[in-house]
Amino acid sequence: MKKLIFILSLLANLMFIIGFGYFIHKKGGVTYLRTKMGLRSEKTFSPKHNNYWNRKYSLFQVLPNDSTEIIFLGNSITEWCEWSELLENPNIKNRGISGDNTIGLLDRLDEVVESQPKKIFIEVGINDIKILNTYEIAHNYESIIQIIKQESPSTNIYLQSIIPTNFFDTFHPDTIRALNNQIKRIASENSLIYIDLHDLFLDEKGNFDMTLSYDGIHPNGKGYLVWKKAVEPFVNEP
């Protein structure tokens, strides 16, 4: 009898652990635990506390909406390009904000899906690497995809890989590759187009091609032409 009680107790504890683990995963995993335990304030990873982020977001909120919009969504790497001119398409709207990350995108996704855009091209995650692990970033990516599909089901979503950098101490190449593998997996599991930009920005030695950048992280004009060539077929398809 005592042995049966012991076994039942173990099973009950195991079920509790599994249930608790699933709950934490749905809430955001390690990020959720760290915040709830006071190990990290939201201000340490949410760009919405940045004045520049708020100014840009407030502008996006008052700009006119159009269901033919093709949204380029991301951080400074996206923001610092004149996409509509580069791709010669007036329907393209730049929704990049310098310093943004996946958490910031979740905070402002309501404005993005409000117009029920035709297409959304997402390139984000490099700023997350400094504060989150690749599994936490992937979880945020999955939440972004889920919200877009729920709020704007007719929108075509394109996931673009993170481009490499020349800052190995902060953004290790292996970490970027691991994150890109996660993004590629998410695209596959959700039947989305994955656009590999990463390898296009490497030189013959496998390092970041500095002829495509002016600072080792942001593309220059030549770099954006490389990016243009990769996305143009998907921008122009019906």
Q: Following DSSP, what letter does each residue of 86-99 receive, concatenated?
A: HTT-TTEEEEE-TT
- Quick: pLDDT tens for 197-224: 999 999 999 999 999 998 999 999 999 9
Q: Report DSSP state, residue 112.
A: H
Phi-psi category of residue 38: left, alpha or beta, with phi > 0 → left and psi -120 to 50 → alpha: left
> Hey, how many other C-beta atoms are within 10 angstroms of the C-beta on 73?
26
Q: Give residue 40's pLDDT.
A: 45
Q: What is the pLDDT of residue 46?
A: 80
The side-by-side arrangement of strands in the sheet containing 193-195 is 92-96, 70-74, 119-123, 156-160, 193-195
Strands 193-195 and 70-74, by their bridges, are: unpaired
Residue 191 Ramachandran class (φ > 0 left, ψ -120 to 50 alpha, else beta): left
Report pLDDT for 222.
98
Give residue 199's Cα distance to chain centre: 18
pLDDT score for 25:
47
CA dist 66 and 154 (Å) reads: 14
Whole-number Cα distances in Å, 200 to 50, 125, 174, 222: 32, 18, 17, 12
Task: Output the pTM of the full model.
Answer: 0.82
Contact criterion met (CB below 8 Å) for 102 and 122: no
Q: Quick one: pLDDT at residue 48?
A: 83
For residue range 89-100, list pLDDT tens digits in order: 999 999 999 999
Q: Which stretches of the chain score pLDDT less than 70?
A: 1-9, 12-13, 16, 19-44
Query: Nearest Cα to 174, choosing from 185, 188, 189, 162?
Result: 162
State the Rg of the chain over Cα: 20
Phi-psi region of 69 (alpha: psi -120 to 50; beta: other; left: phi over 0): beta
3-class SS of residue 164: coil
> Any residues with CB less than 8 A from the CB of 137 and at least 6 apart, and which?
102, 125, 128, 129, 179, 182
